[in-house]
């Protein structure tokens, strides 16, 4: 008996059905489920990704690729970078150099302050030494002043010695105080007596008439005020 072309062999499955497939499944679903299906082989033209790539890109995660940022345990994620900045570790030599720089700046400031104190104390010590010498010479200077008032030091060797002594004291900042005709100043003058005397027409205040003992100052420091006689304008 000759087989007809339209007959199906005994035990053969119908074409287009897979073993164990649901008879009610559509042909497109069946072809996509078979292991030999290729991407883009569905009738609708929808690209079907490979199973491994689909799993990696899906909920199971994607395999690390070259150029991806690696987040370690000590680094914050990209979303937390603003809240948790990462401070790079400094080389020990850099930290040591910064500490030495701070120490050097502190020592330099201390040295500048020390130098200022030394310079100030040096000037004060020099003025104090000059004042001590001047106080010891005050009796001699008073005698020189009286000799000049009496005309004994107009000329001669003693006049030259007196001039040299006053010039030497001037080099150390010693300045004599008190002169007839200047206004009375209680800071540099000490009035010992008040007398009646004729004053210049321009005098409008208490005026020094006679210097009894000249005063002396060192810089702005008054060692002894000038002892004078004063008169009031009429």
Q: Please compute the mean of the pLDDT values over residues 145-170 and round it to a whole number.
A: 89
Q: What pLDDT band is residue 39 in, cutting at 50, 70 and 90?
A: very low
pLDDT of residue 155: 83
Beta strand extents in the chain (DSSP E only): 174-177, 189-194, 207-213, 215-218, 221-224, 226-231
Domain-wise residue ranges, the chain: 98-231
Q: What pLDDT band is residue 13 in, cutting at 50, 70 and 90?
A: very low
pLDDT of residue 84: 52
Q: Please compute the mean of the pLDDT values over residues 204-232 and round it to a whole number.
A: 91
Position with higher pLDDT, 16 vs 166: 166
- CA triple 14-20-22, angle to 5 deg: 80
For residue 177, pLDDT beyond 60: yes
Q: Please compute the mean of the pLDDT values over residues 1-28 and round it to a whole number.
A: 42
Separation between Cα atoms, residue 210 and residue 193, nearest integer Å: 10
Q: What is the pLDDT of residues 52-100, one digit of tens each?
A: 444 344 444 444 455 544 444 444 444 444 455 544 567 888 888 888 9
| 98-231: CATH, from 2.30.22.10, 1.25.50.10, 3.40.30.10, 3.50.50.60 | 2.30.22.10
For residue 199, pLDDT beyond 80: yes
pLDDT of residue 107: 93
For residue 142, pLDDT beyond 90: yes
pLDDT of residue 223: 93
Q: What pLDDT band is residue 34 in, cutting at 50, 70 and 90?
A: very low
Q: What pLDDT band is residue 181 in, cutting at 50, 70 and 90?
A: confident
Sequence-separated (6 or more) residues with CB below 8 Å from residue 99: none
pLDDT of residue 88: 57
């Amino acid at each position: 008996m000759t087989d007809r072309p339209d007959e199906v062999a005994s035990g053969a499955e119908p074409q287009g059905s897979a073993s164990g497939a649901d008879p009610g499944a559509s042909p497109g679903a069946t072809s996509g489920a078979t292991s030999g299906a290729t991407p883009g082989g569905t009738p609708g033209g929808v690209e079907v990704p490979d199973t491994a790539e689909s799993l990696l890109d899906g909920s199971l995660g994607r395999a690390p690729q070259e150029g991806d940022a690696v987040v370690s345990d000590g680094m914050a994620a990209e979303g937390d970078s603003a809240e948790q900045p990462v401070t790079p570790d400094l080389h020990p030599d850099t930290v040591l150099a910064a500490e030495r720089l701070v120490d050097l700046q502190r020592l330099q400031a201390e040295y500048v302050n020390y130098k200022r104190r030394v310079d100030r104390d040096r000037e004060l010590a020099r003025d104090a030494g000059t004042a001590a010498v001047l106080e010891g010479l005050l009796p001699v200077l008073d005698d020189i002043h009286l000799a000049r008032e009496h005309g004994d030091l107009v000329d001669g060797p003693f006049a030259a010695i007196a001039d040299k002594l006053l010039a030497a004291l001037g080099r150390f900042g010693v300045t004599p105080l008190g002169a007839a005709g200047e206004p009375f100043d209680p800071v540099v003058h000490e009035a010992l007596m008040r007398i009646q005397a004729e004053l210049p027409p321009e005098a409008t205040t208490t005026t020094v008439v006679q210097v009894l003992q000249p005063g002396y100052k060192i810089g702005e420091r008054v060692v002894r005020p000038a002892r004078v006689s004063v008169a009031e304008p009429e």
